[in-house]
Amino acid sequence: SAVAAIKAKGELVMLTNAAFPPFEYLGDDQQPAGVDIDVAQAIADELGVELKVVDMEFDGIVPALMAGKGDIGAAGMTVTEERLESVDFSTKYATSSQYMIVKKDSDIATKDDLKGKKIGVQQGTTGDIYATDEDGENGVEAEEVLRYSNAMGAAMALMSDKIDVVIVDELPAKSIVAENDSLKMIDEKLTTEQYAIAVKKDSDLTAEINKVLDKLIADGTIDELILKHTTE
Ligand code: GLN
């Protein structure tokens, strides 16, 4: 069993992309910190093992899990039908939406204005999927979707006018806007999403994770962690 193997090696390996505050970011000591790291630590504690955090590209997390290069993917990861074909998900522990970030003087005010625009996203995220709009159901019709390795990279491109808008999850969007005076968030939810921890399919680890998560959700710890890592 996966749980027995983790206990035997004495280590829970968490795959993440530490550029997604408050869920994961690099702290002052350049070590990954955030809600997901604290949750993974609680899971490791429950199993009686050490936590090892591996920082990687977001779109590499699911393939790496499938290849057995880690035990859990905890990265503000939205549960999607497509990902469910490759991995299992834990209990959902947070709700989010995609939002638009623009320069304060932008002519983009609603999602209808995305037509003909250059949209920046983080590669392989639900923001990427929304902007790319493969089946046309979002009516985006962008001129181009430019993919960056993290949302901050997309925001830098926005500040230097290489793109017109960034589409990214709510709390990272708030964090980016809070740190960059020339940017604002548009108050329109583009999607409704829920975050969960990804696990290799049919693993006995999922039930262990859910046991810990159910408690952290019920006693308000998740909400507290979001607040703590937002104000830090
Ligand atoms: N929630 C988004 C997704 O799952 C973005 C996650 C991230 O960039 N860490 O695709």
Structure pTM?
0.96
Residue 37 sits in the same domain as residue 148: no
Ligand 1 atom closest to residue 193's alpha carbon, by position in its atom list: 1
Residue 149 sits in the same domain as residue 74: no
Give residue for tokens 């250059």.
118
* Probe residue for ligand 1, chosen from 77, 96, 149 as the CB with the greatest number of ligand atoms within 8 Å: 77
Please name the amino acid found at residue 162: K
User: For the segment 47-60, what is each residue's pLDDT rounded down to a tens digit?
Assistant: 999 999 999 999 99
- The residue range of the domain holding 208 is 2-94+193-231
* Probe residue for ligand 1, chosen from 53, 62, 97, 125 as the CB with the greatest number of ligand atoms within 8 Å: 125
Residue 198 sits in the same domain as residue 89: yes
* Probe residue for ligand 1, chosen from 53, 93, 99, 126 as the CB with the greatest number of ligand atoms within 8 Å: 126
For range 202-222, the mean pLDDT: 98
Residue 136 sits in the same domain as residue 88: no
Q: What is the CATH number of the domain that holds 134?
A: 3.40.190.10
Distances (CA, A) of 5 to 47, 87, 98, 144, 204: 11, 19, 37, 45, 11
Ligand 1 atom closest to residue 126's alpha carbon, by position in its atom list: 10
Query: How many domains does the chain divide into?
Result: 2
User: For the segment 157-190, what is each residue's pLDDT rounded down to a tens digit?
Assistant: 999 999 999 999 999 999 999 999 999 999 999 9
For range 4-31, the mean pLDDT: 97
Residue 126 sits in the same domain as residue 207: no
- Cα 45 from Cα 107, distance rounded (Å): 50
User: For the segment 127-144, what is each residue's pLDDT rounded down to a tens digit?
Assistant: 999 999 999 999 999 999
Please name the amino acid found at residue 201: K
Residue 89 sits in the same domain as residue 29: yes
What would the DSSP string read from start to end of 88-157?
A: EE----EEE-EEEEEETT-S--SGGGGTT-EEEEETTSHHHHHHH-TTSTT----SEEEEESSHHHHHHH
Residue 124 sits in the same domain as residue 162: yes
- Which residues line ligand 1 at a C-beta cut-off of 6 Å? 17, 20, 58, 75-78, 122, 125-126, 169
What is the pLDDT at residue 231? 77
Residue 103 sits in the same domain as residue 180: yes
Residue 107 sits in the same domain as residue 156: yes
What is the pLDDT at residue 232? 60
Residue 200 sits in the same domain as residue 175: no
What is the pLDDT at residue 134? 95
Spell out a b/e string for 12-39, using b for 16 or more CB atoms within 10 Å of the CB, else e. bbbbbbbbbbbbbbeeeeeebbbbbbbb
For range 220-231, the mean pLDDT: 95
What is the pLDDT at residue 199? 98
Residue 135 sits in the same domain as residue 77: no
Residue 153 sits in the same domain as residue 138: yes
Angle at 34 between CA 33 and CA 36, to 5 degrees: 115
